[in-house]
Amino acid sequence: MNCANCQREIANYSNFCYYCGARQISAPGGIPRASKRLMRSPTDRKIAGVCGGIAEYFDVDSTVVRLIWVLLVLMPVPVVPAFVGYFVAWMVMPEAPYPEPLVAQPITPSTGVPHSTQTA
């Protein structure tokens, strides 16, 4: 990719030129960036999916998040704030859509191989 200001070669999808510092305007068809959203989990839930959603967001095991929440509830001071925090997160966090089920391919009885990978 060339800089629109100084016409020097820079890396693709750069936001600024390395040489002149000019902001680069990228085409709308650029590489889509993966955005991570904090959402309640539809599959990893015990009550409302809040702990499962937090675990998915931070890429940790949901059991760890649940244990931390239980420890916060059992401490003498934050009992009410822990319950209020969970309730507020339940109301504020949107629920993630259910994952799409995997479509099973029919298996040929004679070979045991799915139709799409079988050669003629």
In a domain, 87, yes or no: yes
pLDDT for res 10: 81
Q: Do 50 and 14 share a structural domain?
A: no
Query: Which residues constitute the domain of residue 26?
Result: 1-30
pLDDT for res 54: 87
Quick check: 97 and 42 in contact, CB under 8 A?
A: yes
Q: Do 73 and 57 share a structural domain?
A: yes
pLDDT for res 115: 58
pLDDT < 70 stretches in the chain: 13, 26-34, 78, 100-120
pLDDT for res 47: 87
How many domains does the chain contain in total? 2
In a domain, 80, yes or no: yes
Q: Do 38 and 83 share a structural domain?
A: yes
pLDDT for res 21: 81
Contacts of 20 (CB under 8 A, 6+ apart): 3, 5, 6, 8
pTM of the model: 0.52
